[in-house]
Amino acid sequence: MLHSNYAIFIPYWQLLFFLAILTAKQVTFDLMNYSETFLNAAQQLIDAGRFIDSKGWVPATSGNFSARLPDGTIAITVSGKHKGQLELDDIMLIDADANSLDGKKPSAETVLHTSLYKRFPDIQSILHPHSLNATLISRIFKSEIVLEDFELLKALRGITTHESRVVVPIFANDQNIPRLAELVEQYLDSHADCYAYIIAGHGLYTWGVSVQETLRHLEALDFLFDCELRLHGVKH
């Protein structure tokens, strides 16, 4: 007869195997709670993160990305994850007021996303990398960078000629995000044609009607920033 304190030993590898199965089932269950539109948007943000990381624009765990869903909720990257290594579990769901809808923790800068979505009802995506060019631009040009007479300006939505002038404002960095968001709002009140803005020593925010369009804006703007930095170096 066995004693009541008889121990059954399970090999370590079997224990790891069972834990992996339980974890996979939990992740599958969690993903089933999200809509198909959320999962599609999340995958687009993951793919965008891979591309942006390949350019070196999101070092360490910097940056945050989002996409607005048809019901007005927003898929957005969680806080503290490397944007070139995102997985589905690293994308969360928030409402239009930046409140978490799934218990995950959003970035402190989430209100900068939600304020833009409220202002521009047609935009469906916002990308915020910490690129070297945007950071250097903010050190040199201080309050704004003016881009004009570049053919690549036509990559920005609605621009059809190189004979265009685009102003990208530069705002001082601020750890008080609501205050920073209000400063951006005040600027946009009188500059509705803005395509992007830079937070000094920090990074770029740009937006579009889709993740793909926003990526196009981002790539074009970074190229144009590089042009201006090189021109500045030649002149000085």
pLDDT digits (tens, 9 = 90+) for 35-67: 999 999 999 999 999 999 999 999 999 999 999
Residue 145 has pLDDT above 80, yes or no: yes
pLDDT digits (tens, 9 = 90+) for 21-34: 545 444 444 555 89
| Residue 73 main-chain phi, psi, to 5 deg | -75, 170
Q: Are 203 and 139 in contact (CB under 8 A)?
A: no
Name the percent of the chain lying above pLDDT 90: 81
The one-letter amino acid at 129: P
Helix (H) or strand (E) holding 144: strand 144-148
Residue 4 has pLDDT above 70, yes or no: no
Contacts by 28-32, CB closer than 8 A, 24 or more apart: 30/89, 31/88
pLDDT digits (tens, 9 = 90+) for 209-223: 999 999 999 999 999
**Which of 22, 43, 36 has the alpha carbon at shortest distance from 89?**
43
Q: What pLDDT, on a 0 to 100 scale, did the predictor assign at position 9?
A: 53
pTM here is 0.85
Sign of dihedral through CA atoms 153, 69, 52, 81? positive
Sign of dihedral through CA atoms 157, 216, 48, 106? negative
User: How many helices (DSSP H) and strands (DSSP E) are in the chain?
Assistant: 6, 8
Q: What pLDDT, on a 0 to 100 scale, did the predictor assign at position 142?
A: 85
Residue 8 has pLDDT above 60, yes or no: no
pLDDT digits (tens, 9 = 90+) for 114-134: 999 999 999 999 999 999 999
Q: What is the mean pLDDT of the chain?
A: 89
Biggest distance spanned by C-alpha atoms of the chain: 93
